[in-house]
Structure 1
Amino acid sequence: MFEIYIRTTPCRLWAAITTPDTSVTRDLGARMTSDWTPGSGFELRHPGTGARLGSGVNLEVVPPRRLVQRTVALWSDDVRDAGITRVTWVIETVGDACRLTVVHDQIRDGADHDLYGGWPSTLSSLKEHLETGRSWASLPASAR
């Protein structure tokens, strides 16, 4: 489980997660696309090569509050072997900010750390992007 507070509105946060051209995943080298309806599929692709990095199904889509996805990572044999996992995004208003809670679960014991270890940098990028308009990935390494 990962939790972060971001000074933004639920609608802006939802858009940053789900809009391919503004998605924070783009800043980390990926682009997520879907029609964002319950039961619809989604894909995570490398923007430069088009290689598929992940795919899955949107189980629950409640804009701008909750998104539950069943997903399989495809960027390496190790993460692919971990099989299907679940990612739940919950957005709650807290004063003039939002608390974003991301739960990545249903992970097989012994799964490669690369499957879930990138969440801190992804959420930091999301926060940086929404609060300053800059990409976390574009900051000098000393500022990360």
Structure 2
Amino acid sequence: MAESTFVYVTYIRATPEALWNALTDTDFIPQWWMGVRTETDWTVGGSWKLVFPDGRVADTGEVLEFEPPRRLALKWRNEFRPDLKEEGWSHCLFEVEPQGEAVKLTVTHSIPREHSKLIEAVAGGWPSILSNLKTLIETGRVLIPQRTAEAAEA
């Protein structure tokens, strides 16, 4: 079966535990995800969702793996764009690996569909979101401020 995949790798000056906390602390996530918040209890088999600042649901899914501080896997479906929702479920994997005084973060987002519009969309979104995460952890300030819901959908 054909698949579309986006992989993003970055190195962050942090401990694996600090990065893990930034990835999973539902109160901290909106700071680097430009106002988007996560609703979940991080239980394997449990649900999770991303919610825009205005309350609309952006994405939903299921926690597939939760192995602090190294692996987080999510079943993922876009909910706010009909053309992306129609593509069905994707898979997003966060891998955290210590690298001396830094941590290597690899995000792999894939879907069993060739030429996926969803993967095209996340390829545009993940770099800014993860750059915000890196900058916030390293400097205490975000690189890109909170966006309006309309800008987040673009």
**Which residue of 2 is the match for residue 3 of structure 1?**
9
The separation in 2 between residues aligned to 1:82 and 1:115, in whole angstroms, is 13
CA shift digits 1:7-34 (9 cap, x unpaired): 0111111111111211157542311121
CA apart distance, 1:78? 2.0
- Report the counterpart of residue 76 of structure 2 in structure 1: 71
Structure-to-structure mapping, 1:63-102, within 5 angstroms:
63-102=68-107
Pair 107,125 (structure 1): closer, same or farther in 2 beyond 3 Å: farther
Mapped to 1, the partners of 2:123 and 2:75 lie a distance apart of: 14
Alignment TM-score, normalising by the size of structure 1: 0.88
CA distance in 2, matches of 1:60, 1:76: 26
Q: Deviations over 1:77-101 (max 9, x none)?
A: 1221221000000000000110000
User: Within 5 Å, which residues of 2 pair with 1:16-31?
Assistant: 16-23=22-29, 27-31=33-37
Matching residue within 125, 132, 142 for 2:132: 125
Please list every run of 5 or more consecutive structure 1 residues that lacks an aligned counterpart in the other structure. Answer: 140-144
Q: Say if 1:42 and 1:50 are closer, same or farther in 2 by CA, change over 3 A.
A: same
Percent same amino acid among aligned pairs? 36
Q: Is the 8 A contact 2:33 2:132 kept in 1?
A: yes
Shift of residue 74, structure 1, vs aligned partner: 1.3
Structure-2 change in CA distance of 1:66 and 1:25 (3 Å): farther
Poorly superposed stretches of 4+, deviation over 4 Å: none
The count of aligned residue pairs is 138
Q: Secondary structure at the match of 1:54?
A: strand
Higher relative contact order (CA 8 A, sep 6+): 2
Distance 1:80 1:87, change over 3 A: same
Aligned pair in 2 of structure 1 residues 107, 131: CA closer, same or farther (>3 Å)?
farther
How many angstroms apart in 1 are the aligned matches of 2:88 and 2:59? 11
Aligned amino acid, residue 89 of structure 1: F
RMSD: 1.7
Query: SS at 2:48's partner residue?
Result: strand
- Aligned counterpart, 2:61: 56
Amino acid at match of 1:13: L
Does the Cα contact within 8 Å between 2:32 and 2:142 map onto a contact in 1? no
TM-score, normalising length from structure 2? 0.83
